[in-house]
Chains A and B, each alone.
Chain A
């Protein structure tokens, strides 16, 4: 079993819909949770960065962490065609710089105009 599981999709939704992307993990030591967005033929770019459990909102994006369930989510409100990309979750225990980030395999999202 992988440490981080992510549904690869693809996921297609109409413009304006609410999108929910999810990852589950098995290592209870993870404390830092990130979402990266990757456009086609580009490198991943950091979208959201959260610590421990709870919610974090940034514009149309909300990151949610439920450590008791080992489950994290990214919600996109009022989705736009420009949100079409692959979304990767990533996690770390902390110990900055001294360990590897663990990435999910990514979910490919398409927003249909």
Chain B
């Protein structure tokens, strides 16, 4: 298996623009998680899905953030409009749900100028 695949690897955009991050989880994993990592706050869980259904989005910072999972093999995290304070590395992770082992993608480095 190729693991969790995220795209793009790097995204540079200007304040106010829409940003869409993409994730393909490991086949057969029923859980998908979106995390954000910064030096100051470490890893923060934004939202997670079970069988394509959002379960907990309490970590989504503002209404500017939204996430979807239209099918078992694809998820998006959208920021509209983006702000400089959104600059961070965004990780997608998936899990079988049998245990707490998470498998992370390589992340998207987002820079909002």
Within 8 A of B (CB), among A84-113: 88, 90, 92, 96-98, 100-101, 103-106
Within 8 A of B (CB), among A36-61: 41-46, 49
Alpha-carbon separation in the docked complex, A41 to B107 (Å):
8
User: Which chain A residues have a beta carbon within 8 Å of chain B's beta carbons?
Assistant: 32, 34, 41-46, 49, 88, 90, 92, 96-98, 100-101, 103-106
Q: Which residues of B contact A41 (CB under 8 A)?
A: 106-107, 109
User: Which chain B residues have a beta carbon within 8 Å of chain A's beta carbons?
Assistant: 4, 30-31, 41-43, 45, 48, 50, 55-56, 59, 91, 93, 95, 97-107, 109
Q: Which residues of A contact B102 (CB under 8 A)?
A: 44, 46, 101
B104–A43 touching, CB < 8 Å = yes
Within the complex, which residue of A45, A92, A96 is in contact with B98, where a contact is CB–CB below 8 Å?
A96
Alpha-carbon separation in the docked complex, A80 to B50 (Å):
39
